[in-house]
Structure 1
Amino acid sequence: MNDPTPPPSVSTRERNRNRALLILIVAVFFGSAIVAGALRFSGWRPAGMKNHGELLQPPGDLRQVVPRLVEGGEYHWNPAERTWRIVVAPPPECAEACVTLSHDLDKVWRLFGHNADHVHILWVGTPPQGALRNRVWNVIEPAPALSAELPGVDEGGAAGAPVYVVDPNGFVILRYAPGFDPGHLRTDMARLLKLK
């Protein structure tokens, strides 16, 4: 019933070649996993994955703050609407730099295309003469509770104003120093708008 013929023997050379191939496959698999782990734990990230704004740790919490609109009424965060906010908190002496910033923010907002309706611009205090406003601008009254959650809000002056990104829930997650590149804000916001 059993087949009495022994299985064909494998030559030593072929057996060594097969073992070397198996070791090479295991080394490539585990080697790439080790390299990926080392990169991950060293903090390295591809350039396309880095944000340009300063990531706030911990983020400012505006959920309990209800800003008052200059025109009257309150501005509610409404997380269900999935609306992101760009908050500008200029110092009183910011004039020409803030006019330029208003034009830059309008360009950035327009470049969002079909996602532009998911972004509001909140300007804290009275905009300077000549500032460009679009339909998603909301001018809100300065409030100590609001300023307390915006780190570095006093920086700037005549050089410009800091700009903040607030997520749909009311957390201040990114900060841009006065005089920042508006293209960096656009890039960061475009990534955030993809998170739905």
Structure 2
Amino acid sequence: MNDPSPASRRASRIKLLLVAAVFAMPLLVAMILSLAGWQPGTRSHGDPILPQRSFAKIDIRLADGKTYAWKDSEPRMTLLALPGSDCMDNCMRLLHLMSNARVTLNKNADRLRLLYVGEPPHGPKAAAVMQDWQVGSDVEQKLASFRPRGPDSVAAILVESNGTALTLYRAGFDPNGLKKDLQKVIR
């Protein structure tokens, strides 16, 4: 039997260690970056709602008199729009862009419900803008702290299918950032 020399065994071990290092290096780099607090693609364009709270017991009365069911029969999220006073051109433009963001979800668009809580906008463009939105009112004014103070503005809240409020998009938010967040969350 041909016994390998110590030099060839050493060379074989070095090659084995190099191959193992090639596979282990990305894992090691990922672990170091994660421990340092850097995680790609996890940043939201809105602000997290902390401490987390459930909207499940907030009474939203819909236009038909029924109460909005936060917990749906299917796992569907809710994009809640809260207008400031006098929802006019800017507010309606943002509502339209939020509705379009839902459309960009393609086959998953039905996994997002649109809920507008407040006095609905009026005017010639309002009917077209509001066609995709359910309109309701906050009976006990429990959402008042999230509502923008300025006129012709709107804030949005993304609510999980179990009623947990996830992210607040304050008045003046970037609708493209909201669209990107929706595309990450709803798959």
TM-score normalised to structure 2 length? 0.83
Whether 1:59 aligns to 2:41 is no
Paired position in structure 1 for 2:79 = 86
Instruction: Classify the secondary structure of the residue corresponding to 1:50.
Output: coil
CA deviations on 1:95-153 (whole Å, 9 max, x unpaired) are 32211112212222222222222222111111222431124x111112445316xxx61
Q: Which sections of structure 2, spanning at least 5 residues, go unmatched?
A: none
**1:162/1:191 Cα in 2 relative to 1: closer, same or farther (>3 Å)?**
same
Q: Which letter does structure 2 place at the counterpart of 1:186?
A: K
Q: Percent identity?
A: 28
1:125 aligns with 2:118: yes
What amino acid maps onto 1:54 in structure 2?
Answer: D
1:33-54, Cα deviation, whole Å (9 max, x unpaired): 322211122221223x433222
> Cα RMSD between the aligned structures?
2.3
Larger Rg: 1
Select 1:174's aligned residue among 130, 153, 167.
Answer: 167
What secondary structure, in the 3-state scheme, does the structure 2 residue paired with 1:58 have?
A: coil
CA distance in 2 between partners of 1:94 and 1:174 (Å): 22
Distance 1:102 1:154 in 2: 15
Greater length-normalized contact order (CA 8 Å, ≥ 6 residues apart):
2
| Alignment size in residue pairs | 183
> Which residue in the other structure is 1:9 paired with?
3
CA deviation profile, 1:16-72 (whole Å, cap 9, x unmatched): 21122233234344443322211122221223x433222323323111223111331
Match of 2:102 among 109, 114, 132: 109
**Alpha-carbon spacing, 1:32–1:88, altered in 2? closer, same or farther (3 Å):** same
Q: 2:68 aligns with which of 60, 71, 75?
A: 75
Amino acid at match of 2:10: N
Where structure 1 has 5 or more consecutive residues not aligned to the other structure, the ranges are 1-6
